[in-house]
Structure 1
Amino acid sequence: MKYSAIITDIEGTTSRISFVTEVLFPYAARELPGFIRANATEAAVAAELDACRSLMQQADATVDTIIAQLQQWIAEDQKITPLKTLQGMVWQYGYQSGAFKGHVYADVHSALTCWQQQGIKLYVYSSGSVQAQQLLFQYSDFGDLTPLFSDYFDTRIGAKRDISSYAAILQQLQLPPKQVLFLSDVAAELDAAKVLGIATIQIVRDGQAAGNHAIAHNFSDVGEQIT
């Protein structure tokens, strides 16, 4: 095995895009207002509401005003860090109550397990919050998969199409780029990683537009390419 670490995206890569768009997003949009109103004074929630006020440039925005902005961001699929964090808090209840399980493709479960057993360090980099990432894998179709991963990265380290984000990840991994493989279904994300010398493979499950990267249709294909 020529890689010491593999970083994977989630949506469209390890998991169905429709799980996010048809299950998680509607659940958050439906439950978020009540959750915020009930927990607005809790320290963790209050901190994210203040972050929203800062982004909105409305220091005195009311809770209802913030909720309206959050709903707009959800509708626009904005990658806003406080939104992602608040969504993660709401999804936690959904997972724990059994409202849904985190979708993970069977080929992903098999490959990740195999790679970890081979000594490869596994990481997640997604626009969803670290909490949301951990919940999806903790409450997955295959049980708790979180022990497979060494760490998680979200938009706090930077946007997924920014080269600087991958430089920051490399700094944390303390590995040369050629020893790191990044898997994503989005060519623009892979483009940013590739600039730094990180190896890339685009996961094309549902007819996504291919970029200038090696292509795999599932994680079994990835395994064949890297062994």
Structure 2
Amino acid sequence: MTIKAILTDIEGTTTDIDFVHKVLFPYARTHLPDYLRNNRDDALVASILEDARAELGQPEADLETLIKAFLQWIKQDKKVTALKSLQGLIWVQGYDQGDFTGHLYEDAHRCLQQWHQQGIGLNIFSSGSVKAQKLLFGYSDFGDLTPLFSGYFDTTTGHKREAASYRSIADAIGVPAEQILFLSDVIEELDAAREAGMQTTLLARDQLPADSDHPVVSSFDQISL
């Protein structure tokens, strides 16, 4: 079956998971208190703060209470929309100031460029927000790569381990599921994509899994379309 579109995960697939957990998340955590204190009157930040109050069930919560709540959500690794939105704004600041660039494996960059040149549609599906996805690829180690991608999908589309999410993405891309190749380092996500009819490949960069009934590669260079 001819592959007409690629759908790829980010963490552990195109990007070293350490970049997210050892660079992006700590940066947001460190800068969050001062960022909120300095930008509390910005309309977008004010909206995020209202969402946080609703999440807490405390409509009168003051700024310092909200800062503590955000930091606690980070500590608990909670998937709170207000936190995701706030982290995205803080990362914009970090990227703009050149505090870091978006990590991308060299083989991923090379193959994504080649596939794009071949006319294969490239799409992202990540638990990180679409905004965070565009920041990572827009400020990547290899420059602005956002023109390579046709679509960006996050968990507003659905859970990454549910087949319905991949059916929705196939509909949005406008390509039959069986002509889409999904790339991920998480077997449960690959299982869901396959259930939806997609072809799959497991990226196992560090250690080959003991058992996987998905095709397994250790780099993008080994992926055959």
Does TM, scored on the shorter chain, surpass 0.5? yes
Tell me, what secondary structure is at the counterpart of 1:155?
coil
Answer yes or no: is the 8 Å Cα contact 1:181–1:200 preserved in 2: yes
Please give the alpha-carbon distance, in whole angstroms, between the structure 2 residues aligned to 1:120 and 1:191. 23
State yes or no: 1:221 paired with 2:216.
no
Give the count of matched residue pairs: 224
TM-score for both structures, normalised by structure 2: 0.92
2:14 maps to what in 1? 14
Letter in 2 for 1:151: G
CA–CA distance in structure 1, aligned partners of residues 214 and 78 of structure 2: 26
| 3-state DSSP of counterpart to 1:213 | coil
More off after superposition, 99-108 vs 82-91: 82-91
Q: Which moved more, 1:43-52 or 1:80-89?
A: 43-52
Q: Within 2, Cα distance between the matches of 1:81 and 1:185?
A: 24
Who is 1:91 aligned against? 91
Cα distance in 2 for partners of 1:120, 1:16 equals 24
Q: Kindly report which structure 2 residues correspond to 1:1-227, keeping only aligned pairs within 5 A, or say none.
A: 2-207=2-207, 209=209, 211-222=212-223, 225-226=224-225
CA distance in 2, matches of 1:120, 1:39: 41
CA RMSD of aligned residues (A): 1.7
Q: What is the rounded CA distance, in whole Å, between the counterparts of 2:213 and 2:81 in structure 1?
A: 29
Quick check: 2:167–2:177 contact (8 Å CA) kept in 1?
no
Give the C-alpha shift of residue 164 in structure 1.
Answer: 2.5
Provide the TM-score with structure 1 as the length reference.
Answer: 0.92
Q: Secondary structure at the match of 2:7?
A: strand
Q: Residues 136 and 2 from structure 1, CA distance in 2 versus in 1: closer, same or farther, beyond 3 angstroms?
A: same
Quote the offset at 1:208 in angstroms: 6.7
Structure 1 counterpart of 2:177, one-letter code: P
Stretches of structure 2 that go unaligned for 5 or more consecutive residues are none
SS of the aligned residue for 2:127 comes to coil
Q: CA deviation at 1:90?
A: 0.4
- Look up the SS of the partner of 2:156 in the other structure: helix
Q: In structure 2, do the counterparts of structure 1 residues 56 and 206 end up closer, same or farther at CA, with 3 Å as the change threshold? A: farther
Whether the 8 Å CA contact 2:151–2:173 is kept in 1: the answer is no
